[in-house]
Chains A and B, each alone.
Chain A
Amino acid sequence: MIRAAIFIGLFVLSLGIGHGLVLWRAPAVFMTLAMERIAEQGVGLHAFVLAPKVTPQSQSVVRPAPDLAYSVCRFDLSKGHVLARGAVSDGYGSLSVFDGNTNNVVTLSLMSSDDGPRAVELALSGSSLSNSEDVRFIKLSSPKGLVLIRRLAPDDMTRSAVEEISDLDECRMLSAP
C-alpha cells in the first residue's frame, strides 16, 4: 500500500514538474530561437536594421503585418546599458521593447502628434537609473531582448518615406555603468 502511494506520489510530482518546466521555459526558448533567426538575417547587436518589406518569402517571425515596416535592434545588457531612440514622423510609429521572456515591457509613440519620450535606456535590474523628459529608463531581469520599431507603410510611397526616416533611428551601447 505504502509502496503504491510512493509510486503515485512520484508520478504526480514529476507531472507537476514537467508541466511547470515547459511553461517556465517555452516562451524564453521561442524568443531565443526568434532572436537567432533575426541575427542570421544580418541584424547585429546594438544597431537598428530596417527589415525588408514583409512578404511570404521574407517573414522571419510568426504573424508579421505586411502593412508595417519593422526596424529591429538586438541588445545584450550584460555588456552595459543600451540606448534606443526612434525618429518621429506624422504617420503611425511606435518603439517597443521586448524582454527575453516575450514581455512587451514598454511602448513609446513615435508620432509627431503625441508628446513624451522617444528613447529608452535599458539596463539590468540592480542598476541605478531615473526617468528624464527625453528618455524612459527601463530595468530588465534578463540581459537579451529586442527593440522593435513599427511604422505604417501600406504602399510603396510610405515605404520609401519610412526608409528615409529610419536612417535617423539610433540603437547603441552606452559606456559601462
Chain B
Amino acid sequence: MKSFILLLLLSLAGLAVGGGSALYMSGLLPGAQTSSRSQIDVDGWVADFAIGTVQTDPWTRTRVARHGLLALSQSEAVYFTRTTDNTGARLTDACRYRLSGEDQDALWWSVTLYDGQSRLPMNSDEALSFDRTRAGAGSRWAFLIQGAAPEEGPWISSRSAGAFDLTLRLYRPSEALLARPAAFVRPPEIERLDCQGDVP
C-alpha cells in the first residue's frame, strides 16, 4: 500500500514537472527565456518566421497560441518584437523614447505597443500605433513613445503599459527580405530620452 501511494505521488509529480517544463520552455512562465531554431534577431528585433505554419516547433506553437494567436504565416506577414531600448534596458512606461527608422521592404508596415499581457495598454489616448500611411513611402520617420501627448508630432502612448514591448509588422514582405532578413529588414532605433522615478 505504501509503495502504491509512493508510485502515485511520483507519477503526479512527474506529470506536474513535465507540464511545467513545457510551459517554461514555451515562455509561458515568469522568467522563462525562449528561443527556437527559426528565431531571427535583427539588431534586437526578434521574429520567428515559422509562426502560423505546421512546421513550427511545439514550444513556439504554444507560446504563439498564448501571445500571438491568429498570426499569419510568413509569406503574408512577419512580426518582429523588441523589448529593450538602445541601452539594453527593458522598455517601460516610466521612460520616454524616440523611435526612428525608414521604409521597409514590404507592402505595408506598422509599429504597435503592447503591455506585459500582450494587450493594448488600457488608456484612452487613441495613440496605439504608427504605420506606413503616416510615415510616407520611402521616407525616414520618427515618433515619440511616452505617457502624455507631445506638443507636436506623432506619438504612441505608453500610459498604463508598465513594462511593454513593440511589435513591428511587415505585411507582404519581399522574397528577398524573407530569404535574408538581416540584410533587408531596416530595424528601427529606440533611443531612451529620460525616465521618471525608479526604473526597473
Interface, chain A (partner B; CB < 8 A): 3, 6-7, 10-24, 26-27, 30-31, 34, 54-57, 59, 61-67, 92, 94, 96, 98, 101-104, 107, 146, 148, 152, 154-155
Subset of 9 A-B contacts with CB under 8 Å:
A10-B10, A17-B18, A22-B19, A26-B65, A56-B128, A67-B133, A94-B76, A102-B52, A107-B73
Partner of B53, one of A3, A24, A103: A103
Q: Given the complex of chains A and B, what is the CA–CA distance between A103 and B75 in angstroms?
A: 14
Partner of A14, one of B18, B114, B128: B18
Q: Given the complex of chains A and B, what is the CA–CA distance between A20 and B66 in angstroms?
A: 17
B121-147 interface (Cβ within 8 A of A) = 121-124, 126, 128-129, 131, 133-134
Contact A66 B61 (CB under 8 A): no
Shortest CB distance A51–B (Å):
12
Q: Given the complex of chains A and B, what is the CA–CA distance between A63 and B71 in angstroms?
A: 9
A30 CB contacts on chain B under 8 angstroms: 65-66, 69
Q: Given the complex of chains A and B, what is the CA–CA distance between A11 and B13 in angstroms?
A: 7
Output the nearest chain A residue to B71 by Cβ-Cβ distance: A104
Contact bitstring B144-179, A, C-beta under 8 A = 1, else 0: 000000000000000000000001010110000000
Q: Given the complex of chains A and B, what is the CA–CA distance between A87 and B132 in angstroms?
A: 23
Partner of A56, one of B11, B110, B123: B123
